[in-house]
Structure 1
Amino acid sequence: MSAIPTQHPPEPSLRERFHQRSLEHQRPLSIVTMAFTVVTFLCMVAARELVGIPAVPLGYRMLCALVLALLVLAIPSTKSTALFGAIGVVYELVLIGGLVLNASGVAHPLAWLLPALVVIPICAAPLWLTPVHFFTGNALFYAVAIALLLGETHPREVDAAVWTWVIAIGAPTAAVFHFGFYRFRRNHYLLESQLAQLAATDPLTGLQNRRAFVKHAEARLAALAPGARLSAIFLDIDSFKSLNDRYGHAVGDHALFEVAQVLKDEVALYHSVSRLGGEEFAVLLDDELSRALQLAERMRVGITAIERPDGHLTASFGVAEHRRGESFMALLDRADEALLRAKHLGRNRVCAERAPPFDALQPPFEAVFAPRAAGTEAGASRYRWEDFYLISHFQPLYSLSHQKQVGFEALLRGEQDDGTLVPPVVMFAPKPTSDEGALDRASHAVHLGNARRALPGDAWLFLNILPATFVADGYADQLTKIVRAAGLEPERVILEILESHGGSVDEMSRAAARYRQHGFLIAVDDFGAGQSNLDRLLRIRPDLVKLDGELIRATTHGTQQPILPKLVSLLHQAGMLVVVEGVETAEELILAVESNVDFAQGYLLGRPASEIAPPESVHRQIDDAFDVIAQGRAHQHALFESEVEPYRRELRRAADGLRAGAVMDDAFALLATFERCISCFILDDTGRQIGHEVPGPSWSKDAASLQPVANPRDARWDHRPYFRNAVLLPGEAITSNPYLSLASGRPCIAVTVAVQLASGRCVVGVELDWSARGLPWPAGE
């Protein structure tokens, strides 16, 4: 904020403005007239030389001509009316002095001087800008003339003729010419001012119109002193069209007038206020951005007090500060962009311009990458941002298979002067002047400067990046320069695209290709939350996918089995490595290992900190998780086998009965009484059901909620693994992995065996209900 208020000179009076305007008009005419007079004087000097009577030395008279010419040359640079009048007075005195010197020594000097005594005041009369100049110049001129006339003795009739010409003709004619021309110029100026005022004013509100506003603003920019501040406010009345459409243009016009009054009341006289057109207004003020935002907020509050038939008026505001070298239209465009953001954010608010493009390699940020003095390398880099410092905290990521640290996610923190951390809710709170993108780019520079100091030489650095920053033109090249300035290579940096607005999928896909050309790896953060979806992944094609921490705790409906293994398998098949976040307990770490996750991150493995913690204890935790899984896998397999073995054994007995010629109901009679049996069935060699199915205790019509597909005899099942595997191993009872039954909508297991019956090769099977909690699942699941 500016410590010294801007001083604004008082507005000139109408008389001063008129005289200044007259100076602009009179200057060309005066130059021509006075230059012509110099030529005339030189002609008289030449004529005097032809007389042959001794005269004052020529050098004196030519000196007068030189002085007259210099006075003429001074007129174009004359800025004030007083100086212009002084030049006129001196010009007349030098001219009359030169004429006296030229007439000296002749027999009848009045014959040489009388025409000049009459003509000079008359010709000069229209050129005087003010009556004061006219009276001063003529008084001095006639004082010299009278002294000249009184110093010579002339016949009475000559004196009478001379005084008649000078007093009765020359002086009155000069006065008539001067005041007549002065009145004409004044009336012309008043008419010109009135027309200019009408052309520059919006007739409805009395404010400047767009053309006058732009012209005035450009003039102010041209005269802007070094270091001076200038800001523009652009505002638009919210939902104004509905006011006109529903209540008529008279009501809309009254609303515009009321808004104009609010602006006039809030804005100082030396600021410019304009109605640009329709419901758009603009203000140009000699102040910095923060004060302009305060003024805009006062205007916004004032406008909300204006009533409209269906409530109160509101307006949206955009504010921008002039940057050195830019045009006024560029300033207005940036204010307009801020206004559009205010509209998109919900209207009735003030938004500031976006910060200028951030360049970490320019002052004052280049100090982050400056070489460290001896003994200071251990210190962390930080950068002043608003009223706190930006610092880096690093959270480790571990490769579960390698059981070691492979990378660190850089997290931005704010630090006060006393070392206390700024709460995130304060640090990232939206402000009218804040630019999330600038903070994002600043964080990259801080993290890279600190990574050079803190990270092991072979570790990845995960940099969070907003989508809007990621797709920004030229940022891939700029970030590459910043990475190398920090002493790193892009191959060691993984750009982690945050879950946020700010770029279409197509834009991010194209941007990802640009970053990969430089060597960066790409990761997508928080998959499974917000806008993330498979289409986004498949089009961006990240190298790594970071799963939202909630996914590690997500389970299937009913059985409460974790969905993480299937999701990891899907992403692996799509060619993407998987990072799971939010690992906070030993059980979650075990699940991550069992699900074949590639990398893990979370408080259990290491909290974010400015210094890297030793990894040995984490290595032991990961190794313990592998041991638990190895031990539990055999136990899990044994439990599962013990649960399904009775069904396999009885299915083989039923198959033997069918081969011996027993009917289905008799062959499946005992198996159909087993607790988890849904139904028993026979499929032909094309996978179609033969005959009816024999229901078991777990079969229920009410459970078959998917009515259109509830009848298995309408379907073909040879594509199912339990059919294919049975055909590949004829005579051996095959147990499938749990699957979701199309008929019942429940998790099921099929036990099948391929046998040769009289009708041909068949697959005999039983479907088991596996939806109850606590049932063992195959170890691979």
Structure 2
Amino acid sequence: MLTSLLPPTITPALRLCFHRRSMEQQRPLSTVTMAFTVVAFLIFVMARSHVTGMDLPLWPRLLCALAMLLLVAAIPKAPSTFIFGLIGVLYIVVLQIGVVINVEGVEKPLFWMLPAGMVIPICAAPLWLTPRHFILGTIAFYLAGLPFVLSVPFTHDDYVLCAMWVAIGIPTATTFHFGFYWFRLSHFMLEEKLLALAGTDPLTKLLNRRAFLEQAERVLGETQAEGEVVSAIFLDIDRFKSLNDQYGHARGDDALMEVTQVLNDAVPPGGVIGRLGGEEFAVLIKTPGPQRAAELADTLRILVAAILRPDGFLTASFGLAHRRSNESAIELLDRADEALLRAKHAGRNRVFVEQARRVERVRATAIDEESDTRVDEEPVVATRWGAFDLFTHYQPVYSLSHQKQVGFEALLRGFDRHGTPLQPDSLFAPQSNPGVTELDSLTHHLHLANARKRLPLDTWLFLNVAPSTFIQAGYEQTLAAIVSEAGLDPGGVVLEILESEGVDVEELALAAWRYRGCGFLIAVDDFGAGHSNLDRLLRIQPDFVKLDGELIRAKSRASDQPLLPTIVSLLHRADMLVVVEGIETTEELILAVESNVDFAQGFLLGRPSATLPSAAAVMRRIDHAFDVIAEGRTVRTARFEAQLAPYLAMLTSAATALSNGANIEEAIAPMAKLELCKRCFVLDETGRIVGPEIIGRAGPGADFRLGPLAGPQSGRWDHRPYYWKAVASMGMAVFCQPYLSLTSGRASVGVTMAFTRDDKVMVVGSELDWTSPHLAWPTAE
């Protein structure tokens, strides 16, 4: 199983890898050195000829030189370390034979052989790839010259020479070889360690994203057996952020390690496992068929769901995709990731398989601007502000329901004389700076002049206005004149009041009334950040409210459910259209669509640019979000109803018994034994509790916040949806949307059923604890 790049020890396989890499690195050096030695040998032959004359024919010496040249030519083509070493041994033997032939017949031949006998083994020592090559090559070198040495009559000086060879040549060569060998080995191990660290996740020791993709590409490049399928499993730990936030990152790390252990144990040999980032893991496997991969994914889901976390059990969502013809690893993972996205939206803790149709990449953070931009023929209008050149950039605003571009926010971009871009906030001084209004006015001239040339006629232009400029007396007339001069209609211009402190809300409200009189539309920017608050909205009464991106990520503390749908519903009740800014991921786009957001903008839908982006790719993204929501709504609704089924059945039995005159306590007591039941009760026609209230297995418990509310028998509950829905559906068990209970302070679901007893309408019900993240939440009504 390929799970890590870190080598635990120098294994035989690792040593073989080292020798092969050393061979590739030493080919050029060995080739050059051995070729130079051939030249040196020919010079040696010429020196012998010049000093003593030739006693033997020249051709044996040249034949040795030719053999060495052929061996040099074979070095770059050596296919293995064995052949590489064999060439070296043959080369050094031929060289020794050539030296022996060359010194044959000279006076004191051992003195002539001294340089070769000592220098050649020493110089060759670092070039041997392995100690085995070195030992065999050195022995072969000396054995090749031994017959000649033994045939020479020894003198006292000859014994001294042989002693020098033994005492200096052999130890020095041995030191050189093993010194260079261990140096190369240490360098190789350091290189392997660095490569491993660069490709291994430091916590789990699994492959990181880069290494996983490289290994996956190698697997995809291998020949597949008949019927073999390559599958990618993408998994994401559910609610991992809440684990880190509530219980600390150490507990989160423990969870990651436990999931890693599950993967290492359950994924079969040959599978590639990686941690792609955060709580995301990926597995690439070869199986005999797609069903095996689906079974493995479900097995992994079950094993992960058995891991404990402080508030229950860990779960993960899985996406599965099978490789298509000529598909890259990135494309395969994208389809698995899309399936994972659908699994999470359908309620988490489940396995979803890829869709048959091709989908947009779900993790990309922005539309490819190079391929999705329109070429504008109109010249760009620019202006100067001090030492800066100012330009207009546009970011599109989309209607999610209409799936079309409906507006563009004009954004100011500045560049210095070197063409270096400047941050927008560096152009605008603090609000107290009197130059801000001047720059604001200059910016409005610039944006409106460009809008006349570039923007489609049926779109809004969102124009930022500093509050200090917005409240200036008479500026509404000035701006209306600028708009008219640009050939635009004020009804197509949305003035965004920027968030700031120091400006009285009453002044902003009065100014907004004046701008509306000129035909402008009003928007409040960055609601939910800084000093922006609900009172500000209710006083200004804008046409649009632009929500800060952080509100997309806001969730309830206990149930981990997003708050965006409730915020949007509140603003809609106040007759305000909602724009969500900062959409950067597909998950955020899906949440915006599901929350009934009217308009959206963000990097995912288009970055600010001097050119107007095409809407085609964005439309596919938005349409995909609608598809995911539709599928998820069906799955979650079915799961929600399945989880409620035993409670509704028990409720029907209790209502039947009560309508037949049974004792209240005896009739409702069985419901209290069910797992999620907090309390069971019967209400009269005025919504007050009749008889005893029975605390269930998930009883309210002690909540110090709600101490004064203890004892709901005195309350009146006929205003609650679970009461009047039951009365409206007499004789049918009904349920309501999750709500915050006043008796327990936790998210709850009410299941009720109306019946008649003694000619009076009564309602029997149970309040269920719905705080567990494993429970399905239906789509908001």
When normalised by structure 2's length, the TM-score is 0.51
Q: Which residue of 2 aligns with 1:772?
A: 772
Aligned pairs for 1:137-148 within 5 A: none
Question: What are the Cα deviations for residues 33-70 of structure 1, in whole angstroms up to 9, with x where unaligned?
Answer: xxxxxxxxxxxxxxxxxxxxxxxxxxxxxxxxxxxxxx
- Cα distance, 1:654 vs structure 2: 1.3
Distance in 1, matches of 2:416 and 2:776, equals 54
**Residue 751 of structure 1 aligns with which residue?**
751
* Aligned counterparts of 1:423 and 1:570: Cα–Cα separation in 2: 35
Q: How has the CA–CA distance of structure 1 residues 629 and 376 changed in structure 2, closer, same or farther, with 3 Å as cutoff?
A: closer
Residue-by-residue CA offset, 1:215-246 (whole Å, 9 max, x unaligned)? xxxxxxxxxxxxxxxxxxxxxxxxxxxxxxxx
Structure-2 change in CA distance of 1:557 and 1:453 (3 Å): same
**1:421 and 1:429 mapped to 2: Cα distance?**
17
User: Secondary structure of the residue that 1:754 maps to in structure 2?
Assistant: strand
CA gap of 1:464–1:426, structure 2 versus 1, over 3 A, is closer
- Equivalent-residue separation in structure 2 for 1:641 and 1:595 (angstroms): 21
Q: Which residue is 1:613 aligned to?
A: 613
Instruction: Please state if 1:381 is matched with 2:381.
Output: yes
Superposition deviation, residue 376 in structure 1: 11
Contact 2:700–2:743, Cα closer than 8 Å, also in 1: no
Per-residue CA deviation, residues 249-280 of structure 1 (Å, 9 max, x unaligned), is: xxxxxxxxxxxxxxxxxxxxxxxxxxxxxxxx
1:693 Cα deviation from its structure 2 partner: 0.7
State the match for 1:630 in structure 2: 630
Deviation at 1:429, TM superposition (A): 5.2
Report 1:347-358 matches (<5 A): none
> Does 2:455 align with 1:446?
no
Shift of 1:489: 1.5
CA contact (8 A) 1:440 1:465 kept: yes
Q: Which residue of 1 aligns with 2:497?
A: 497
Deviations 1:275-309 (A, max 9, x none): xxxxxxxxxxxxxxxxxxxxxxxxxxxxxxxxxxx
Structure 2: which amino acid aligns with 1:640? F
- What is the CA distance between 1:750 and its match in structure 2? 0.5
Q: Which amino acid aligns with 1:443?
A: T
Q: Following the alignment from structure 1 to structure 2, what is the Cα–Cα distance between the partners of residues 719 and 389?
A: 62
Question: Given the superposition, is the C-alpha separation of residues 438 and 468 from structure 1 closer, same or farther in structure 2, using an over 3 Å criterion?
Answer: same
Matched, 1:546 2:546: yes
Determine if the alignment matches structure 1 residue 674 to structure 2 residue 670.
Answer: no
Structure 1 counterpart of 2:392: 392
**Other-structure match for 2:195:** none
Q: Secondary structure at the match of 2:669?
A: coil
Distance verdict in 2 for CA 1:704–1:687, change over 3 Å: farther
CA drift at 1:663: 2.1
In the TM superposition, residue 715 of structure 1 has moved relative to its aligned partner by 0.7
- Kindly provide the amino acid, as one letter, of the partner of residue 512 in structure 1: A
- Given that 1:674 and 1:697 are in contact with CA atoms closer than 8 Å, whether structure 2 keeps it comes out as yes
Name the CA distance, whole Å, in 2 between partners of 1:775 and 1:433: 54
Provide Cα deviations, 1:591-617, integer angstroms capped at 9, x if missing partner: 111111110010000000111111110
Matched residue, 1:211: none
Q: Distance in 2 between matches of 1:548 and 1:617?
A: 24
CA distance in 1, matches of 2:546, 2:729: 40
Tell me the alpha carbon deviations over residues 467-498 of structure 1, each in whole angstroms, 9 at most, x when there is no partner: 11111011000001111112211111100001
Shift of 1:740: 0.6
CA distance in 2, matches of 1:566, 1:432: 37
Report the Cα offset of residue 648 of structure 1. Answer: 0.3
d(CA) in 1 for partners of 2:428, 2:721 = 52
Indicate how the Cα distance of structure 1 residues 540 and 706 shifts in structure 2: closer, same or farther if over 3 A, else same: same
Q: CA deviation at 1:561?
A: 0.7
Sort the Cα spacing of 1:453 and 1:615 in 2 relative to 1 into closer, same or farther, 3 A.
Answer: same
| 2:549–2:582 Cα contact (<8 Å) kept | yes
Aligned partner of 2:687 in structure 1 is 687
Most deviating of 734-743 and 700-709: 700-709
- 1:403 is matched with 403
Give, in whole Å, the separation in 1 of the partners of 2:573 and 2:777: 23
In 2, the alpha carbon distance for the partners of 1:502 and 1:622 equals 39
Work out whether residues 467 and 508 of structure 1, in 8 Å CA contact, stay in contact via their aligned partners in 2: yes
Opposite residue 659 of structure 1, the aligned amino acid is: S
- Corresponding pairs, count: 407
Shift of 1:513: 1.6
Mean CA deviation greater in 429-438 or 659-668: 429-438
Q: What is the match of residue 523 of structure 1?
A: 523
Which residue is 2:573 aligned to? 573
Question: Amino acid of the residue matched to residue 619 of structure 1?
Answer: M
Amino acid paired to 2:573: Q
Query: What one-letter code is carried by the residue in structure 2 that aligns with 1:692?
Result: P
Residue 474 of structure 1 corresponds to 474
Query: What CA deviation, in whole Å up to 9, does each residue of 1:727-764 have, x standing for no partner?
Result: 11111111011111011110100100111124832110
Matches within 5 A, 1:211-250: none
Distance of 1:753 and 1:430 partners within structure 2: 61
Q: Max radius of gyration: which structure?
A: 1
Aligned to 2:24: none
Match of 1:219 in 2: none
Q: Report the equivalent of 2:563.
A: 563
Counterpart in 1 of 2:591?
Answer: 591
Q: Which runs of 5+ in 1 are unaligned?
A: 1-374
Equivalent residue for 1:460? 460
Q: Partners in 2 of 1:528 and 1:455 — Cα distance? A: 30
Asked which structure has the greater RCO (Cα within 8 Å, sep 6+), the reply is 2
Question: Whole-Å Cα distance in 2 between the matches of residues 654 and 431 of structure 1?
Answer: 67
Amino acid at match of 1:527: F
Alpha-carbon offset, residue 688 of structure 1: 0.6
Q: Which residue of 2 aligns with 1:738?
A: 738
Q: In the alignment, residue 617 of structure 1 is paired with which amino acid?
A: A
Distance 1:709 1:385, change over 3 A: same
Assess if the C-alpha contact under 8 Å between 1:704 and 1:744 holds in 2: no
> For residues 673 and 727 of structure 2, what CA distance do their matches in structure 1 show?
26
Deviation at 1:426, TM superposition (A): 3.6
CA contact (8 A) 2:431 2:468 kept: no
Closer, same or farther in 2 for the Cα pair 1:484/1:425, shift >3 Å? closer
The root-mean-square deviation of aligned C-alpha atoms, in Å, is 2.0
Distance 1:680 1:376 in 2: 68
> What is the CA–CA distance in structure 1 between the aligned matches of 2:433 and 2:597, rounded to whole Å?
42
**Alpha-carbon offset, residue 540 of structure 1:** 1.1
CA deviation vs aligned residue, 1:322-347 (integer Å, no higher than 9, x gap)? xxxxxxxxxxxxxxxxxxxxxxxxxx
Q: Hey, what's the Cα distance between the residues in 2 that align with 1:495 and 1:502?
A: 19
The CA deviation string for residues 515-569 of structure 1, in whole angstroms up to 9 with x for no partner, is 1121110011111112222222122111111111111111111111111111111
Is 1:509 the counterpart of 2:509? The answer is yes
Evaluate the alpha carbon distance shift between residue 433 and residue 552 of structure 1 in structure 2; reply closer, same or farther with a 3 A threshold.
Answer: closer
Aligned equivalents of 1:399 and 1:759: distance in 2?
53
- 1:435-457: CA deviations, max 9, x gaps? 22222222111111111222112
The code of the aligned residue for 2:623 comes to: D
Structure 1 SS opposite 2:579: strand
User: Does residue 1:483 correspond to 2:507, yes or no?
Assistant: no
Give runs of aligned pairs for residues 138-537 of structure 1, distance below 5 A: 378-424=378-424, 426-428=426-428, 430=430, 435-537=435-537
CA distance in structure 2 between the partners assigned to 1:710 and 1:444 by the alignment: 59
Gaps of 5+ in 2: 1-374
* DSSP-derived class of the 1:668 partner: helix
Indicate the larger mover: 677-686 or 483-492: 483-492
Whether contact under 8 Å (1:377, 1:453) holds in the other structure is no
Q: Distance in 1 between matches of 2:758 and 2:399?
A: 57
Measured after TM superposition, the shift of residue 459 of structure 1 is 1.2
Q: Does the aligned pair in 2 maintain the 1:677–1:769 contact within 8 Å? A: yes
Mapped partners of 1:766, 1:381: distance in 2:
67
Q: Is the partner of 1:705 in helix, strand or coil? A: helix
Q: Which residue of 2 aligns with 1:181?
A: none
Secondary structure at 1:461's aligned position in 2? Answer: strand
1:617-654 Cα distance to aligned partner (Å, 9 max, x none): 00111111111111221111101100101100001111
Q: Alignment partner of 2:408: what SS?
A: strand
* Alignment correspondent of 2:648: 648
Question: How high is the TM-score relative to the length of structure 1?
Answer: 0.51
- Aligned pairs for 1:656-667 (under 5 A) are 656-667=656-667
Aligned residue in 2 for 1:222:
none
CA distance in 1, matches of 2:538, 2:770: 33
Distance across 1 between alignment mates of 2:443 and 2:500? 17
